[in-house]
Every structure is written in structure tokens, then in C-alpha cells.
Amino acid sequence: MTMWRLVTALGDSALLLPLIAWVAIYLAWIDRRTRDALRWLAAAIACGGIVALSKLLFMGWGIGPPGLDYTGFSGHTALSLLVWTSTGALLVRGRWRPAAIVAGLLVGIGVAISRLALEVHSVSEVLLGAFTGGLSAAWFIGGAPASPDVSPSRPWILAIGVVAIGLLCYGRVFPSQHLLQDVAKALSGRGHVFVRHVSR
């Protein structure tokens, strides 16, 4: 694998979906922060839902911003910015928390750049994905207290889960594009999906 493929694997749903589920479990049952767990799930569903909707609208009906090289928001970019930035905020508390958030943000930016380097997405698709993921992460982090008084606060358990999921799932590929294509054809009633007109 090239360097960029190694980086882009950090944004694949095969890795990020299990991490999203683990963060929700950690917040709800280990850190006893039900409200934050619900907030996390809302952020993840909104982020993933917006990406999926953008792709379905384009693939099924050709709907997208006029004048742009566009097939839908970059899901790798959106979800990686949400997951890695938010995970950094949850793993580290105290004065080093901002540095952990920035580290997670840099991972997400690296994934975004990798999508451009691999010519999988256009600049507009990556920017729209980055906006969606960044906004979702900011909303979650802004409403999740850094040091909740009622929380037993065991971020090391979260870290163990993140490492375990990484070892099991990193490098795998989730067939999200194929699934969305099938859904788009079923919903639109077409036998084909709209594709990019600009050669990349």
C-alpha cells in the first residue's frame, strides 16, 4: 500500500463505524454519561446521514451543486474528522485536551488530503465533507463537558477499545459505495446511477 492508502484507511467506515459504536457504549455504560452518548449518536447519525443523502441524491437523480465537480460529500473526510477529533477530546482531559483535539483534527485533515492525492474525490467533495464532519465534531465537543463531576472518568478503557478496534479493522474496506448505488437504483427506479462527468 502507498502512504496515501495507509492514511485513507483511517477514514474507512469499516474502521469508523465500530469506533462510533464503541464510543457510544463507553459514554453510556462505562463513563455513565447518557446525555453525551445520545449527543454522540446524534452527531454521528447526522454526519453520516448528510453524506449518504448527498450521494443518493446525486446517484439516483443527478442532484448536486451546479458548476462543481461533484458526486456527493466525501464520507471518509466527514466521518474521520468527526470520529478522530471527538475521540481525542474524550481520551485526554485537563490542559492537554486541546492538543489531543488538534491531533485528532490533523488525522482527519490527513484523510481529506489522501482522498485528493488518490484522486477519489474532487476539492469540492472534500471541502463539503470537511465542513460536515468538522461541524458535527464541534457540536459534539462543545456540548460534552471535559471533566464531568458525576463521571467515573476512565478514558484508558476507551483507549483500549480504540486500539483493539484499530488492530481488528484497520485496512478493511466497507462497501458503502456499492450499497448506496443499490439503494439509489431502488429508490429512483433507474437501472443505472449518475456518475462523474469529469475524468479524474
Distance CA 156, CA 32 (A): 15
Q: What is the pLDDT of residues 16-75, one digit of tens each?
A: 999 999 999 999 999 889 999 999 999 999 999 999 999 999 999 999 999 899 999 999
User: Is-above-0.75 flag for pTM?
Assistant: yes
For residue 198, the model assigns a pLDDT of 60
Instruction: Give the model's confidence band at 196: pLDDT under 50 very low, under 70 low, under 90 confident, else very high.
Output: confident
Q: What is the pLDDT of residues 97-123, one digit of tens each?
A: 999 999 999 999 999 999 999 999 999
Q: Are 60 and 71 in contact (CB under 8 A)?
A: no
Alpha helices in the chain (DSSP H): 3-8, 13-25, 34-61, 75-91, 97-117, 123-143, 155-169, 176-188
What Rg value do the Cα atoms of the chain yield, rounded? Answer: 17
CA angle centred on 131, ends 95 and 14, rounded to 5°: 85
Share of the chain above pLDDT 70, in %: 94
Q: How many residues does the chain have?
A: 200
3-state secondary structure of 74: coil
For residue 93, the model assigns a pLDDT of 83
Distances in Å between the alpha carbon of 153 and those of 41, 141, 163? 19, 16, 18
